[in-house]
């Protein structure tokens, strides 16, 4: 398309079009040509843009308030601020790149540009804080379903509470943060980081992290996966809020899709490490560990293979 036509369509000048094209290229959009020849979009960019995602998730809780950032510190930080300022339930923040992506504990989350999905959603469930763990287990199930919808040949493993693994390495992490009173949740932000098309990781992550591309050998559409993710999040969330005994099927499905929940020798890094064998989830979603001195219940902390 010629620069003049583009300029007419968006009501600007040809030189402004040239400036915008340069900016798009810097953001990774593959545009060929120059002012004399006109421009050609070589490939539809796999960007998590609201106009692209919204039509794919019509009817879900998340279709109406999607925000997209090319670069941000952390979508979770921004979503917590937005939630405190009154952002509606179902608000979604996507980023192409995070410069201060946060993981659980004090870990960082590697968030290289346009290779992963970095997403945070704002929820306002009428749940007591004690039931939020069940919600975060359900989010892991939503990621599991989304990945399998795009490629049914992939079988991710869920590691309590919130990791999704492929080939024993982490492909997705979930960071749930909340603002609550003792008996009532004000808002929750669920942050989901999925390693999608990374082809390598920094030396300190290489042994522990993988991506869908590394695990399957093919490039994945982030747009398709992000849409599937929001669709399954919507499904899990509604089911959890609507059914009075919704925790039971969530715990059952989590256990079915996890090689970690039962019979696994693990070390728990809590306040002081201890080792034992996993012995299922209790009715609140906590992990039971059989140790030499009896069964212990893990309320938080990191589970590692011994």
Q: Which residue is nearest to ligand BTN (CB)?
A: 173
75 binds ligand BTN per the rule CB under 6 A: yes
Which window, 9-17, 103-111, 227-235, 237-245, contacts ligand BTN (CB under 6 A)? 103-111
Min separation Cβ 280 and ligand BTN, Å: 22
| 145 belongs to the binding site for ligand BTN (CB under 6 A) | no
- Is residue 285 classed exposed, middle or buried when 0-12, 13-18 and 19+ CB atoms within 10 A define those classes? buried
Shortest distance, position 25 Cβ to ligand BTN, whole Å: 26
Q: How far is the CB of 302 from ligand BTN (least distance, A)?
A: 9
Strand 272-281 and strand 262-270: the pairing is antiparallel
Closer by beta carbon to ligand BTN, 75 or else 198:
75
Which residue, among 144, 103, 147, has the nearest Cα to 259 in the 3D structure? 144
- Which sign does the torsion angle of CA 216, 222, 224, 226 carry? positive
C-alpha–C-alpha distance, residues 242 and 125, integer Å: 11
Q: How far is CA 146 from the centre of its chain?
A: 11
Instruction: Give the one residue of 120, 210, 278, 302 binding ligand BTN; rule: CB under 6 A.
Output: 120
Structure tokens at 252: 């059952």
Q: Is 193 in the site for ligand BTN (CB under 6 A)?
A: yes
* Of the candidate residues 139, 175, 196, 289, the single one contacting ligand BTN (CB under 6 A): 175
Give the contacts of 199 (CB within 8 A, at least 6 positions apart): 211, 213, 214
Per CB under 6 A, 107 contacts ligand BTN: yes
* Residue with smaller CB distance to ligand BTN, 7 or 135: 135
> Which residue of 3, 140, 191, 285 would you call a contact of ligand BTN, by CB under 6 A?
191
The smaller minimum CB distance to ligand BTN, of residues 75 and 115, is found at 75
Work out whether 104 is an interface residue with ligand BTN (CB under 6 A).
Answer: yes
Residue 74 touches ligand BTN, criterion: CB under 6 A: yes
CA proximity to 132, closest of 170, 95, 180: 180
Question: CB of 118: closest distance to ligand BTN in angstroms?
Answer: 4
Whole-number minimum distance, CB 43 to ligand BTN, in Å? 25
**CA–CA distance, 161 with 166 (Å, rounded to integer):** 16
Q: Least separation, in Å, of the C-beta of 192 and ligand BTN? A: 6
Q: What is the per-residue burial (b if ≥16 Cβ within 10 Å, else e) of 154-189?
A: eebbbbbbbbbbbeebbbbbbbbbbeeeeeebebbb
**Angle between helical axes of 132-150 and 247-256 (0-180°, round to 10):** 50
Q: Residue 52: what are its φ and ψ, rounded to 5°?
A: -90, -45
Q: How many residues contact ligand BTN, by CB under 6 A?
A: 20
Scan residues 216-245 and list those touching ligand BTN (CB under 6 A): none
- Smaller CB separation from ligand BTN, 74 or 278: 74
173 sits near ligand BTN (criterion: CB under 6 A): yes
Given 87, 132, 146, 174, the residue binding ligand BTN (CB under 6 A): 174
Binding site for ligand BTN (CB under 6 A): 74-76, 98, 101-104, 107, 109, 118-120, 163, 173-175, 191-193
């Amino acid at each position: 398309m010629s620069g003049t036509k583009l300029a007419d369509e968006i009501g600007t000048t040809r030189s402004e079009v040239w400036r915008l094209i340069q900016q798009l290229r810097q953001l990774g959009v593959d545009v060929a040509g120059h002012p004399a020849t006109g421009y050609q979009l070589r490939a539809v960019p796999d960007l998590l843009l609201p106009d692209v995602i919204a039509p794919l998730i019509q009817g879900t809780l998340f279709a109406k308030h999607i925000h997209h950032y090319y670069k941000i510190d952390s979508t979770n930080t921004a979503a917590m601020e937005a939630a405190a300022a009154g952002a509606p339930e179902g608000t979604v923040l996507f980023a192409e790149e995070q410069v201060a992506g946060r993981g659980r504990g004090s870990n960082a989350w590697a968030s290289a540009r346009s290779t992963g999905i970095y997403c945070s959603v704002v929820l306002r469930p009428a749940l007591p804080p004690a039931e939020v763990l069940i919600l975060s287990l359900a989010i892991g199930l939503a990621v599991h379903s989304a990945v399998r919808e795009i490629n049914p040949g992939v079988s991710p493993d869920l590691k309590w509470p919130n990791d999704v693994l492929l080939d024993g390495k982490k492909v997705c992490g979930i960071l749930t943060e909340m603002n609550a009173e003792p008996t009532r949740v004000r808002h929750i932000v669920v942050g989901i980081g999925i390693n999608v098309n990374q082809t390598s990781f920094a030396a300190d992550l290489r042994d522990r992290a993988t991506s869908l591309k590394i695990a399957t050998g093919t490039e994945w559409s982030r747009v398709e996966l992000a849409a599937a993710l929001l669709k399954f999040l919507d499904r899990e969330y509604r089911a959890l809020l609507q059914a009075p005994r919704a925790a039971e099927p969530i715990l059952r499905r989590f256990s079915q899709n996890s090689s970690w929940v039962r019979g696994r020798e693990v070390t728990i890094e809590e306040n002081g490490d201890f080792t034992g064998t996993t012995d299922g989830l209790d009715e609140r979603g906590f992990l039971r560990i059989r140790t030499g001195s009896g069964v212990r219940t893990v309320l938080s902390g990191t589970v590692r293979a011994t």
